């Protein structure tokens, strides 16, 4: 990937990654808070300009649709983001952001005192808090009655002990899968399910942001993990367009892509 679009994308990904690191550290933790904030704004502006230039060039690149076989066309930017391997650096940044968020959440539960691997006390406390309603409670009421009944059922049947293990290990597994780009689409899907579960229980926190990014990662499952394990795993699984002939169950036309040479 040595063309101009690839150069822009790599630059955009680098700017977003640096901006994310500055934001994660916190401007108040740096020696010059105002300077760090100004630098982050410049990086985000540069990322926006770079992305606009990329999309402008993609719109005029008809070769992206050379093997389109459906009657309803797809906009160039959408094709670029969700099907073009040159967008993979952008998805690498999104994967790292969401992946580290899940890994950190899972590790905190695993290494906490008490650990969720040995006790369901923390999860049970969350469930009980979610079930509280009325004035004076710190947790918002659950909107959907069926989900409230489901949580009440889990509390009554003491599911917290084994469910806590599944949650903390699942969070860590999703994080590792996204960070290393292993079955990225599935990792994002299971992360999305956990985000949805937490939000249904009334917990916002970072869940809406992670939920939205997970949807995009699912849509870009073919290319999101290309800079990772999926570059080698998906062709073995027979995914069309990634080097191995497609079976009828996948459908669609196959576009052969040069296989990695191991360098």
Mean pLDDT score of the chain, rounded to an integer?
Answer: 75
Render pLDDT for 137-160 as a digit per residue (tens, 0 to 9). 555 567 777 788 888 888 888 888
Mean pLDDT of 119-127: 85
On whether residue 1 sits in a domain, the answer given is: yes
Positive or negative torsion for Cα 163, 164, 170, 171: positive
If asked whether residues 115 and 54 sit together in one domain, one would say no
Render pLDDT for 196-213 as a digit per residue (tens, 0 to 9). 988 888 888 888 899 999
If asked whether residues 102 and 222 sit together in one domain, one would say yes
Boundaries of domain holding 3? 1-62
On whether residue 183 sits in a domain, the answer given is: yes
If asked whether residues 15 and 138 sit together in one domain, one would say no
Measure Cα distances from 261 to 55, 203, 224, 231, 254 in Å: 30, 46, 20, 11, 20
How many helices (H) and strands (E) the chain has is answered by 11, 0
Mean pLDDT of 40-47: 64
**Is pLDDT of 29 > 60?**
no
Q: Which two tokens stand for residue 262?
A: 């191991």
If asked whether residues 56 and 100 sit together in one domain, one would say no
Residue 127 CB contacts under 8 Å (≥ 6 apart), including other chains: 151, 154, 155, 160, 201
Contact 185, 109 (CB under 8 A): no
On whether residue 259 sits in a domain, the answer given is: no
Contact 191, 99 (CB under 8 A): no
Render pLDDT for 65-87 as a digit per residue (tens, 0 to 9). 544 444 466 677 778 888 888 88
If asked whether residues 127 and 173 sit together in one domain, one would say yes
If asked whether residues 57 and 144 sit together in one domain, one would say no
On whether residue 82 sits in a domain, the answer given is: no
Strands (E), the chain: none
On whether residue 77 sits in a domain, the answer given is: no
Tally of CB atoms within 10 A around 251: 8
On whether residue 3 sits in a domain, the answer given is: yes
Measured between alpha carbons, how far is 73 from 169 in angstroms, rounded to an integer? Answer: 42
- Among residues 92, 84, 21, 96, the alpha carbon closest in space to that of 54 is found at 84
If asked whether residues 18 and 128 sit together in one domain, one would say no
Tally the domains of the chain.
Answer: 2
């Amino acid at each position: 990937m040595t063309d101009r679009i690839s150069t822009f994308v790599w630059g955009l990904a680098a700017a977003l990654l640096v901006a994310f690191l500055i934001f994660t550290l916190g401007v108040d933790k740096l020696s010059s808070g105002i300077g760090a904030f100004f630098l982050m704004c410049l990086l985000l502006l540069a990322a926006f300009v770079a992305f606009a230039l990329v999309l402008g060039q993609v719109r005029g690149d008809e070769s992206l649709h050379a093997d389109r076989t459906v009657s309803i066309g797809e906009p160039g930017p959408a094709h670029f983001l969700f099907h073009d391997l040159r967008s993979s650096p952008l998805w690498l940044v999104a994967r790292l952001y969401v992946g580290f968020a899940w890994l950190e959440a899972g590790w905190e539960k695993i290494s906490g005192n008490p650990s969720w691997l040995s006790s369901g006390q923390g999860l049970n406390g969350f469930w009980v808090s979610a079930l509280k309603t009325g004035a004076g409670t710190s947790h918002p009421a659950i909107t959907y009655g069926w989900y409230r009944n489901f949580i009440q059922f889990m509390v009554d049947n003491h599911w917290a002990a084994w469910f806590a293990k599944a949650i903390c290990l699942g969070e860590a597994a999703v994080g590792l899968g996204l960070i290393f780009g292993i079955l990225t689409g599935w990792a994002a899907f299971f992360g999305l399910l956990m985000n949805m579960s937490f939000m249904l229980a009334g917990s916002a926190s970072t869940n809406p942001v992670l939920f939205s990014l997970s949807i995009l990662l699912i849509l870009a499952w073919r290319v999101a993990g290309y800079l990772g394990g999926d570059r080698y795993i998906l062709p073995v699984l027979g995914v069309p367009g990634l080097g191995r002939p497609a079976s009828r169950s996948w459908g669609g036309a196959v576009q052969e892509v040069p296989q990695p040479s191991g360098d």
